[in-house]
Chains A and B, each alone.
Chain A
Amino acid sequence: MKKQRSVRLPPALSAHGQNEASGQGIWSGTISFSLVAIPVQLVKAVEPGRVSFRLLHRKDYSPLSRRMFCPKEEKIVPPDEIVRGYEIGPDKYIVITDEELESVSPERSRTIEIVEFIDTADVDPLYYDHPYYLVPAKGGEKAYRLLVEVMRRTAKAGLAKFVLGEREYLVALKSTQGALSLITLHYSEEILSDEEIAPGGGPIEPEEKARLKKIIKEMTADFNPDKYADERRAKLVNLLKKKAKHHAPVEAPALEEEEGEGPVDLIAALEESMRKVKRDRR
């Protein structure tokens, strides 16, 4: 099974970032509260438009990989010699094992349990971390529509705890143009204090206030994000398209055949064993 090395434009250059409309989600489970249970799938809501690059070795365009390097021994450290340390001071660490880490990780869960409904406007966007959509799974469409509609009318969001990957998140479920969105929220302890940010000083003159109010009023518009685009990205995509059209892409050499010899002791032991096999087979 040869590794594919076909010429392929980065996804960013081909079609627009598509959501997996067929509903293959990142997670699937049930939204539940009171007597309500709605089967849903979690899918991504944003596709960051960042164009990313691989780092290559200039002389033959081999893609480079990262290795862990020990500056003291000046050598690469294999995975089985690596442990995690929490830094408590200069050159002082507390070592944490995989098992210990696992022991504090939450159980995987199949439910998004809404614990309370809050006013959407009460959540300062500072708390917003990452948005997803929830897609109704088979049989859940009706209850889903009902929840979306009622949350929209009442401008409420459901607050829930939700385990994704290794972490337990605080999330807000909101109605977004007929769909349910799920936004992971920062915990309040992650929000840095705004103390010392708001400057002190005397009272503000009413005339100054009025003047600024007027300016803001004149500049007021409906929020229309389509008006703005990442110009650097657009230029970069154009550049890549042009290059892809006029220049053959450089190709990295196949690597599977080129790795060095195996571990010396293992080879020696195998050769030793091999001699015996050949002797016995004679």
Chain B
Amino acid sequence: MKKVAEVAGKRLTLSNLGKDLYPSYGFTKADILEYYRRISPYILPHLKGRALTLKRYPEGVEKEFFFEKRCPSYRPSWVKTAEIPQKDGERMTVCLVNDLNTLVWVENLASLELHVPLARADSPETPDSVVFDLDPGDGADILDCARVALILRELLSPLKLDSRVKTSGQKGLHVYVPLNRKETTFADTKRFSKAVAEVLERNYPDLVTAKMAKEQRKKRVFINWSQNDAAKTMVCVYSLRARAKPFVSFPLAWEELEKLARQGDPEKLQVLHSAALSRTEKEGDLFREVLRKKQKLPYL
């Protein structure tokens, strides 16, 4: 089934709208496009100016997917792109999702998940936040991540660092410390996040590990500080995730996380597409400060 849509004056041919891409839940490509259309006022500021990594699921979440870092050459002429220098000195053309048209086009390619770097394409060496990617190992769950996130927030607050948290939409949580200073480098954010992860590991050895090794991660939360790297990407806030159900990587207020952690039901920390829409439409963008707040990493 094909349909020509007109979004903000641009014509787009949308394909396979009836295809169910979340078959065990029932969520078609048309539903996905509608989700991203409605979430667009909230997600676009977080995608804007960043090199998008597409994660495409042409046959749905149960079948094969592939990453695409280069912006496809058959893109419409109005898709904004940037040239990213590569390690080998060559340049790579990447898509910038700066507007609704591009978001709709990208979703028509079944890129259910949207991943972006911590830096913008015009300053690829300047991260605008530090991220703590909390990833539960075997035998640990999102509630353990919540404990770590809450400790992390308290740990950073005397250092005058405000932080925000979102669900990964999978099993973990992502804690962001906004910086938004052009002097920051990935070397800084990596040193900082590693030092924090190691202090947490030393003080909570049964709960936290700062080491990548699988064995160390059992029953612990792995703080993946190495995500603070120009070559790495994080799933964008408000992106859908390719799981059995269309869960969203969604921001939570700290008070809410405290409450949910006390309730002790890991399922309640997952936010579905429908809740994501109704909550943002009511509460606005809880992650807005991540793009705005200026903070400086101390002691570096």
**Interface residue ranges, A against B (CB under 8 Å):** 1-2, 22-28, 39, 41, 44, 78-80, 137-138, 165, 256-257, 259, 261-263, 265-267, 269-274, 276-278, 280-281
Contacts and interface: CB of A to CB of B under 8 A. Distances in A.
Contacts of A80: 183, 185
B74 A270 contact: no
A281 B195 CA distance: 22
16 contacts: A1-B232, A22-B73, A24-B93, A26-B90, A41-B73, A79-B185, A80-B183, A165-B91, A257-B211, A257-B212, A257-B213, A262-B195, A274-B200, A277-B151, A277-B155, A278-B203
B185 A274 contact: no
B78 interface: no
Contacts of B9: none
B296 interface: no
B299 A263 contact: yes
Given A2-B212, A79-B185, A256-B226, A273 B158 contact: yes
A273 B191 contact: no
B5 interface: no
Contacts of A26: 83, 90-91
B187 A79 contact: yes
Which of A22, A270, A271 has the largest number of chain B CB atoms within 10 A? A270
Interface residues on B, range: 35 or more
A266 B195 contact: yes
Residues of A contacting B: mostly? mixed
Contacts of B74: 138
Contacts of A137: 73
B12 interface: no
A89 B106 CA distance: 55
Given A79-B187, A265-B299, A277-B155, A27 B83 contact: yes
B199 A267 contact: yes
Nearest to A108: B83
Given A269-B159, A269-B298, A274-B155, 17 more contacts: A22-B73, A24-B73, A26-B83, A26-B91, A27-B83, A41-B73, A44-B90, A79-B185, A79-B187, A259-B194, A262-B195, A262-B198, A266-B300, A272-B158, A277-B155, A280-B154, A281-B151
A2 B63 CA distance: 24
Contact of B199 (A79, A256, A271): A271
B196 interface: yes
A83 to B, nearest CB: 13
Nearest to B196: A270
Contacts of B53: none
Contacts of B211: 257
A267 B195 contact: yes
Interface string B194-208: 111011100100000
B275 interface: no
Contacts of B83: 26-27
A25 B185 CA distance: 28
Nearest to A3: B226
A281 B204 CA distance: 13
Interface in B70-123: 70, 73-74, 77, 81, 83, 90-93
B199 A27 contact: no
A266 B198 CA distance: 12
B192 interface: yes
A255 B203 CA distance: 24
B91 A273 contact: no
A44 B89 CA distance: 12
Which of B77, B185, B187, B199 has the largest number of chain A CB atoms within 10 A? B199
Contacts of B300: 263, 266
Given A24-B70, A39-B77, A280-B154, A270 B187 contact: no
A28 B81 contact: yes
A165 to B, nearest CB: 8
Nearest to B125: A79
Which of B74, B92, B195 has the largest number of chain A CB atoms within 10 A? B195
Interface in B107-151: 151
Interface in B276-300: 298-300
Interface in B44-82: 70, 73-74, 77, 81
**Lowest 3 CB-CB distances: which A-B pairs, in order?**
A262-B195, A266-B299, A265-B299
Which of A44, A262, A269 has the largest number of chain B CB atoms within 10 A? A262
Given A23-B73, A80-B185, A277 B191 contact: no
Contacts of A44: 90
